[in-house]
Structure 1
Amino acid sequence: MKSTPWGTQGLDASVEGLGAMGMSAFYGARDDEESTATLNRALDLGVSMIDTAEIYGPFLNEQLIGRAIGSRRDEYALATKFSREVDDDGTVGPPNGGAAYARKALERSLRNLNMETIDLYYLHRVDPNTPIEETVDAMAEFVKEGKVRYLGLSEAAPETIRKAHAVHPITAVQTEYSLFERSPEVNGVLDTTRELGIEFVAYSPLGRGVLTGAIASADELDADDFRRFSPRFASDNLTANLTVVDKVRALAGAKGVTPGQLALAWVLHQEGVVTIPGTKRRTYLEENVAAVDVVLTDDDLAALEEAAPVGVAAGERYPEAGMQQVNL
C-alpha cells in the first residue's frame, strides 16, 4: 500500500483507506467476526485510514472498530463523522451542526471507539440551519483540546468549503466520486479542494458495487440493503448502467485486472484524490488493495473516458430526500 499526505496540514495515510460503513449498516446482514478479520487484514496490508461515522448503526460501527482494532491504534488514522442528531437510544433526527450537539457527538464517539483522539473529524452533512462558520468554530475547539487532530467536511459545496476553511484549515472533503459519479468535476468541488490544498476523499468509488460487475439485479441484495431504494438500482436504470459496466469489464479484461480494480485505479489516478472503498469481506478488501498497483496509460484513460463520460449514469445517486442533503 502507498501512503500520501492527506491535505496540507500534516496528516499522512494510505492512498486507499477502508470504508467500514457496510460492516454495520445499510448494506444488509452484519457479520462482526468477518468484519473484525477484515479490519485487521486491512492493517496488515498497510491500509492506514479507517473511515466510520456515529450514524452507522447508529454507534455499532464505531463500537466494532474499537473492539476489533483498538489494540492496534498506532497503526492507523481513524476518521469519524457527525451531523444528524442521534439520541443515545439510536433514534435519528434532523441535521444538527450546532456547537452543543457537536460536543455531545464527539464525546460519545470517543467513548464508543474507546479512543482519546480522533484523527480526522468530519461534518457528515452540512446543516442548512446552522452557519458553517459556527459548526467549524466548535470543531476547532476540539482540535485545541487535543481530542481531534484534523477537520473534514462531507458533501459540501465550494462556497461552504471556502467559508469553513477560513475559520479553521480543512484537511479533507469527502464526496461520492467514481466512473459513475463525476459531478465533483463539474460542480467546482474538485477545483476548490485542489486550489486550497484540501484532500478530496472519494467514497463509493465502485458505484456502490455496480462497477465490480457482481450485481445484475437489485433482487440479489438483502431485503434491508438501502440500494434497493436507490434510483440507480431501479430496474430500467440498472439495465442502462450495466451496459457501462460491460464496457469497463471488457477494458479490465484486456489489462488482466478486475472491473473493480480498473475503476479504483481510475479514481486514484485523479489529481489530489484518495479513496475509501467499503467492504466487509477480506476477499474484496484484498482485490481492492491490489488496485493501487494498476498502471493506467493515456490510452486506458481515453478508453475509460469514452466508456464512462461525465453524466453517464442513469438515475440520481440518492432518492430525492437524500439529494437535498448534498452539495450544500
Structure 2
Amino acid sequence: MDSSKQEIAHDFSPFFIVYKDSRVVQLKVPSSLDPKTNVESKDVVYSPHENGLSARLYIPRSTHQNQKLPLLVYFHGGCFCIESAFSPTYHNYLNSLVAEANVIAVSVEYRQAPENPVPCPHDDSWTALKWVASHFNGQGPEDWLNRHADFQRVFLVGDSAGANIAHRMGIKHGLDKLEGANIAGIILCQPYFLGEEPVGDETNHINQREKLQGLWRFTCPSTSGCDDPWISPGFDPNLASLGCTKVLVFVAEKDFLRARGVYYTEKLKESGWDGDLQVVESKGEDHIFHLINPTCENAVVMLKKIVAFINQLN
C-alpha cells in the first residue's frame, strides 16, 4: 500500500485534512442525538437527481407530538469552495442554535467550486428550499417537517458565503415566491460581499481585497467582476424585492468584510425595501469568531440576539 495515502501533510481540523497524496478530506460527523443540548438530528436527501444532495435536520427532542416550531434553514460558509453542513463546526453550532431558539432546522449541503462554480451553490440551495417548502401542507416526504415545521415562521440564516446565499434566497423568494412558505426573517452573519471600488476602511486591507477578489473569480469564472450582483448586492436591480419583512446583520469589528456588511445595509435601505433592519457589531472580533470560539462572551451574546430576533416574530 502506498503510505502517502495515509500520511497527513496538513491537518486543518476541524475543517479538513490534506494527505501527502494530495487528497483533501473534509471532516464530517454523523447525525445523532446530542446529549449536551438534547437535540436530535438526521440526514435526508433533498435532490436525488443531483448526486443525492443532502441536508441535515435538527429538532429538540422535547418537542411534543403536534407542536409547531419556527423553521430555520441554514446555509454554511466557506467561500463557496470549502466546508460542509456535516462538519463538526456546523453540526455543533446547529445543535446549540436549535436548542437555544427552540426551532426545527434544516442545514443545507450544496455543491461547491471549482467543480461546481457559482451560481451552482445558490441553485442547489433554492432546490433545497423548494424541497423544504413542499412540506407546507403536511404531505412532504419528511415526517419531522410535516408534523413540526411552522411554515409561516421560516427564517433563512447563513454565515460568510452562506449569508450571501441566504440573501440571494431572499431575493429569489421575493421574485418567485415559495408556495406555502412565509420568510419571516433573514439573518446574515458576517456576510461575504465584495465590490470593485473600496468602501469604508477597505483601502487599509489591499492584500485581503486582492485575495478575496481573486478567490471570487476562481469560484465564479463566468462573473462580470466584483460588481456582479451575485457578490455585490448594491448592483442588484432587484435588491428591493428581498422577500421578508425583517433582516438582522452581524458584523465583526476586526473583520475585513465588516465595511462591506455595513455597506450592504445602507444599500438595502436606499433600495426602497421597507422592512425592519437591525445591524449588530461584535467589538474586538474577527470573521466567523462565533464558530471558531462559540463559548466566548461575544458569541454567546450573538446567539442570544439571534434567538431574540426569532422569538420577537413569533
TM-score normalized with structure 1 length: 0.35
TM-score normalized with structure 2 length: 0.37
Quick one: higher RCO (CA 8 Å, sep 6+), 1 or 2?
A: 1
